[in-house]
Amino acid sequence: MDTFAPDLDGFHGVISVRRGEDVLGEWAVGVADRTFDVFHTPETRFGLASGTKTFTAVTVLSLVGDGLLSLDTPVRELLGTDLPLIADDVTVDHLLTHTSGIGDYLDEEVDALAPLTLPVQQLDSTPAYLPMLDGFPTKFRAGERFSYCNGGYVVLAVIAERAAQDVPFADLVARRVFAPAGMTASGFPRADLLPPGTATGYKDDGRTNVFELPVVGSGDGGAHSTVADLHRFWVGLRAGRVLPPELVERALEATTADTGDGLGYGRGVWLDERELVMAGSDHGVTAVSRHDPETGITVSALANIEVPTFARTREAMQRVRESVGGAG
């Protein structure tokens, strides 16, 4: 294990290295709940922030597979008169690939940690997000370029619910992603009613993040999971248990070769050379899970503080490949 031990300096959370049914290495450091002095374990649940978008994309693709949506479906068909500033030519695929050009309620090109414009306790369902999504002018013509869009993934959750005859988004993800992948510890808990074994998120000033994030997540964030479940997700996705093979291919194909930082993007999945990546960061949340399809190795790092993690997991994956090698 020591041959590929990750950098744990300043880290508070869990880092896991898995392949198949084997745990190649696992490190749990720091405190999950400072009030009650509860320490992290490998089973601790963490918020995933924008890592949730991977599950959103897969849920939407599952609806495509069932014929309830298509990639070319104009979003307006399902929005009706809601969010009138979204252009009529914006499609489901534009939203999935961050090429829609719609205005964003949380534009990371401006301020990734800007305060929400509605009280967080009001955001207790996907439809409750609609007033917060409204009123943002188009940034550019649909399909023109890549621009990461949080609001676009909430819109995906809105239209997913409507396409599925008003099934709540969290239930859609549970049925279409978590259950078939065997992710028994994953879900969308209320921030003010976290289940046992869930890490509390902490800001840099030591306060919790309960007043910073929606009380219930939606398409762009708020899912919680464990390192074991994230490995199960990658394995289940690639094995065809979550999506049929042709839609797995659509999820993982590069729709933008370089998003501006050397990473490519598929549909809900970042592409770091040969590795598939889900990643998220927000107030009191850091989450990265990367999977190497060639070896079957997954490296996940989940933290309940804001701490640099992306490069940490990349380096850990390289060390694991050098130490273990072999095919998945």
pLDDT, tens digit, 9 for 90 and up, residues 122-160? 999 999 999 999 999 999 999 999 999 999 999 999 999
pLDDT value at 293 more than 80? yes
Domain annotation covers residue 302: yes
pLDDT for 170 equals 98
pLDDT value at 106 more than 50? yes
Exposed / middle / buried, residue 133 (Cβ in 10 Å: 0-12, 13-18, 19+): buried
pLDDT for 168 equals 98
User: CA-CA distance, 284 to 222, in Å (whole number)?
Assistant: 12
Domain count along the chain: 1
pLDDT for 113 equals 83
Domain annotation covers residue 50: yes
Domain annotation covers residue 73: yes
Write the CATH number for 149: 3.40.710.10
pLDDT value at 3 more than 80? no
Q: How does residue 270 score in pLDDT terms, banded at 50, 70 and 90?
A: very high
User: CA-CA distance, 25 to 280, in Å (whole number)?
Assistant: 22
Tokens of 301: 């790092």
pTM value surpassing 0.85: yes
The answer for residues whose C-beta is within 8 angstroms of residue 318's C-beta and 6 or more apart is none
- Distance (Å) of CA 203 to CA 13, 113, 200, 209, 303: 14, 12, 10, 6, 12
Q: pLDDT tens digits for 74-96?
A: 999 999 999 999 999 999 999 99
Supply the mean pLDDT for the chain. 96
% of the chain at pLDDT higher than 70: 98
Domain annotation covers residue 133: yes
Longest C-alpha distance within the chain, in Å? 58
Quick one: how many helices (H) and strands (E) in the chain?
10, 11
Domain annotation covers residue 15: yes
Share in percent of the chain as helix, strand, coil (round to 5): 30, 20, 50
Count Cβ neighbours within 10 Å for each residue of 204-238 and write b for 16 or more, e otherwise.
Answer: eeeebbbbbbbbbbbbbbbbbbbbbbbbbbbbbbb
Domain annotation covers residue 250: yes
Tokens of 218: 């939606």
Domain annotation covers residue 328: no
Q: How does residue 2 score in pLDDT terms, banded at 50, 70 and 90?
A: low
User: CA-CA distance, 136 to 85, in Å (whole number)?
Assistant: 7
DSSP secondary structure code for residue 288 in this structure: E
Q: Which domain holds residue 153?
A: 2-323
DSSP secondary structure code for residue 6 in this structure: P
315: left (phi over 0), alpha (psi -120 to 50) or beta: alpha
